[in-house]
Amino acid sequence: MSATMPSAVVAHEDQPADAAPPDTRSPWLGRRVRMAMAMVLVLVLVVAGVVLALSVPRVHAYQTEAHDRADVVRVAERFTTEANSYDASSIDGYQKRIAPLLTTKFGAEFKQAMGDIVGPAKKAKMSSQGQVLASAVAGIDQDSATVLVVADAKVRTVFQTLARHFRWKVSLVKVDGRWLVDDFQPIS
């Protein structure tokens, strides 16, 4: 019988018995993995850049439209409130309040219509207080919009007090960066 030990159990003198075996992987394998990871990272960054570049104009367009929608609703509601809030004794003040909300064309039409209404309104000592109940944008593009407005008004005369109910389609246009009322129509 030989007293030699099997080669797998023999410990090397310069290496402890419980040490891990030496790394036998190729140094090229580690370099390949690092290169692949770097390429994947670059690809992810390029894709993120492209997505960001494509998204920024869309976000800007959405923000512009949201801002325009808020503006047209604000102008349409103010017009509706002002048009239905008056006192026959201060027609000049009424016209001064409403004129900045109107286009030049519609302002001239509105002023002409007021000429027909002022006499009877003064005789009846008419006053009114308007209130917007609801509004919504029916359509909008870069330079025109339509807003639907539901409003009530409490009208007082020397003869009676009555409640009036309005449903208007208010047409607006953008003039020099400002939304102005260009027309309105009663709707049922």
pLDDT at 5 over 70: no
28 assigned to some structural domain:
no
Token pair recorded at residue 77: 């509601």
pTM of the prediction?
A: 0.69
Phi-psi region of 156 (alpha: psi -120 to 50; beta: other; left: phi over 0): beta
Give the DSSP letter string of 1-63: ---PPPTTTPPPTTS-TTSPPPP-S-HHHHHHHHHHHHHHHHHHHHHHHHHHHHHHHHHHHHH
Model pLDDT for residues 97-148, shown as the tens digit of each residue: 999 999 999 999 998 988 888 888 889 999 999 999 999 999 999 999 999 9
62 assigned to some structural domain:
yes
19 assigned to some structural domain:
no
Token look-up 């801002």 returns 67
Q: How many domains does the chain have?
A: 1
Residue-number span of the structural domain to which 73 is assigned: 48-186
100 assigned to some structural domain:
yes
**What is the number of alpha carbons within 13 Å of residue 84 lying toward its C-beta?**
25
The contacts found for 66-73 with CB under 8 angstroms, 24 or more apart, are 68/140, 68/145, 68/174, 68/179, 69/137, 69/140, 69/145, 71/179, 72/137, 72/140, 72/145, 72/147, 72/172, 72/179, 73/135, 73/136, 73/137, 73/147
Sheet holding 161-175, edge to edge: 86-87, 127-140, 144-156, 161-175, 178-186
Token pair recorded at residue 114: 């007021």
pLDDT at 2 over 60: no
173 assigned to some structural domain:
yes
Nearby residues of 124 by Cβ (< 8 Å), 6 or more positions away: 88, 157, 158, 159
83 assigned to some structural domain:
yes
CATH (domain of 68) = 3.10.450.50
Q: So what's the pLDDT on residue 74?
A: 97
Mean pLDDT of 62-79: 92
155 assigned to some structural domain:
yes
| Residues belonging to the chain | 188
Residue 24 confidence class, pLDDT cut points 50, 70, 90: low
